[in-house]
Every structure is written in structure tokens, then in C-alpha cells.
Structure 1
Amino acid sequence: MNKKKMKNLILGGSIIILMLLASVGYSVLFNNSRLVEPTNLSTYSFIIQDTPMLVSGLLLFGYVIYLVIEITKVVFKQKTIDTNHTRFISSKLGYLGFFGFLGFLGFWTFSIDKTIFPFFFFVFFGFFSFFYEGKLSNVLKDELFKENETKATIQSYKTGFTLMFIMIWLIGMGLFKRNTEWAAIFMIITVSCIYALILFLSKYLLYKYETQD
């Protein structure tokens, strides 16, 4: 992903978020908080004043889908010419990690129509790892590098599995046993954040070991 495309991606996301915030403000001030307060979709009827909220919501949804596609292309793009060096990637891609805050939208959607899928967006925090992967771009994969990479991966997985065990233990001990919806939310948030943490730690620890050595 070139710098121009990345800047346009960040700029577009910022504009859409500002549009969403403006739409929420308009709905609260001038439209009786429609589509902001919990809404029963089975009895919902469209009025023209709902347009800002609907448009900004659709734009955000489309942007997230496009962002996932673009990030997937970057992550899985491999340089097959030189396998003895790490791939070249810009550390500025780490700014994509801020989209992890979109996960907090889940509390809003859950209050409206019990939708919990947005909590999955917490996994985007894992893209903060690009900050450190970018610092190790085009580095020779010598024996010491491979040893550090293995050590960093093992340590990140140990941390992730420990947190996963704690989550399962809490659920098994009856956390949210009286409310299965909040139990599901807790599990989605926890698993997403653990996955993001593993991605981040594997790159951060590798960078730490390499710079210390």
C-alpha cells in the first residue's frame, strides 16, 4: 500500500467518523434521538430526518468492509524474490490500530437492536504491531533473527493462552451466568483483544530482542 493510498484511507475514515458524530448530534438535538436511543426495528418507520444517521451508518459499514479487504491484501502479500529478508512494510500502517476503537460501537448497537458483532472490531488493535514490523522491514533473517522470532512468538502465545484460560475460568465460575447476552459480549471482547495482543506482542518482542542484541 503506497503512502498516497494510505493517507486517503485514513482521511476517508476520519471524515466518515466525523459525519457519524455530526449525525448523532443532529439526531439528539433536532430528531428526538431517533436511531441513537434504543430502537425497536420491528416497529420502526422511516422519516426523512433519519437520513443523516442512515447514510453515515451505511458509509461506516462500507468503509470497514473496504478497510478489511485492503488490510488483508497488505498482510498476505508476500515478496517471493528474496526470502532471506523480512518483507518491506511501512510502520505508518500501525495507525490502523486506532480503528480498534470502533469496537466500542458495539455498546451502541447492542442498546439499539442487541447486535453484538461490532465488538469484534477490537481485533483491529492488533494492527498497532505494524509500528514495530515496519521498523524491521528488509532485515536479514539470520540465525539470531530466527531465534528471536521464535522466542517472541512463543512468549506472545503463552501470554495469550494464559489470558484465554483466565477468561474460560471466569465464565466457568459463573461470571454473567444470569445474563447470557453479557457473557457472549464478554467472550467476544476478550477473544478479540487477546488475538490483537498476540499480534502486537509477537512484533513488539521481536523488535525488542533485535534492538537489545
Structure 2
Amino acid sequence: MSKRPLMVQDPYREVELAMPVQVQDNEDVHPPIRPGVSLINTSVSQMIRNANRIRVCAVTVVNHTRWRLESAGVFVGGGNVLLPQQPVEPQTAEAFVAQKTASTATGTYGTASYLVQGSPDHPLFINVMWSIAFDRNIFKNRLGVEVGHQYNRDDFQRLYSPLGRRADSETRVFSTRDGLVPIRIEKNHLLVTGNLGNDSKTEAIIHVYENWA
């Protein structure tokens, strides 16, 4: 047995999971991640470049589990979604892009929810909140992740505000000053990590693992 960081190959980069895991030498523990429907003929970076607004957030979900992550809904408070939310099959990655409304002093913000099909804790949802503010001198990029048994269109206000958060959720500011420390949630046989860039046109990337520890 050796102890080394687990390297996960996704369609557009290598991502190092920020925790040591026990693996057998020369053993392929995790199969490679395949591009899903939204990434068959493009990449996340290309999707971001194709968006013609100055505030853009691509939300990428990488499913390392045996369970399908069903599209439960996207609720956009500011702007619009360029591509529809796709279900994320096991061992695949999917992405969609949200951007600000044209000719308005607003950013892009909202939530996306996924139903974990087949989980023993059914119904189980993964809720993702993003916020890329228009005035970046006052507001910083924020990402929130929650594992729970419900979702609704009010999730953004609850996840954005410190007073509304629950024990099974985490929201973090992502900026050079505050540090780009990933979010990490462990609940209901899931380990969910989240990271967000610091730019005005950026990517939120969510990794979903089974966790039976």
C-alpha cells in the first residue's frame, strides 16, 4: 500500500484531490472521467470564451459515483443560462454556463440542484450556489455547496447569507486576498468538493464522490 494524492482525469485538466488516499500500487482505482453531452464537442474554457458578457460562470459537475445525478433545476437570480442543465451520468462530467444580463449593472448568480438517483438516502440533493458580482471592488466571487433532502428557488438567499446556512452546507468567498481554499462537504455517503476561480469570467467545479468511511 502507498499513500499518495489521487489524480483524477477529467475532460479538460487534471485535478488533484486535496486529501491522501490509500491505494494499491499500480492499481487503477477510479476509471477515467468521460465528457458528457454538454462537453462532447467543446471544453469548459471554450464555453466561457463563447459567452459574450463580462460576468460569466461555468458550473461543472464531475460525477465519480455509481449514481446518476439527475437535473433537478436551475434558478437564476441575475442573468441567464446559455446551455441547459444536463443530468450527470456516473463517471462523466457536465457543464452549463450562466452569464449576466446585457446592459445592466448586475452580475450572474443563482443555484443549480441535482438529485442523487439510487442513493440509499433518497431523496438526496446536491445544491450549488454561485455569485459573480458586477462590482468586484465591493463584492467577491462566492460559491456554496449543500447536501440535503430538499431544494427550492430560495436556496440562493439562504446559502449566500451566513444566517441562513445549515450544518450540511458551506459557502466561501474566493479571492486572492481570502485564499482559494476548496469547499468540502461530507454527508449521507457523499464527499462533495467545490472550487471557484477569482476572475470575472470563471468556472465553479464540483466533484462528487461516494464516501463510506
TM-score range, shorter chain: under 0.3
Of Structure 1 and Structure 2, the greater helix share is in 1
Higher strand residue share? 2
Length-normalised TM-score, structure 1: 0.25
**Structure possessing the higher radius of gyration over alpha carbons:** 1
Q: Higher relative contact order by CA 8 Å / sep ≥ 6: 1 or 2?
A: 1
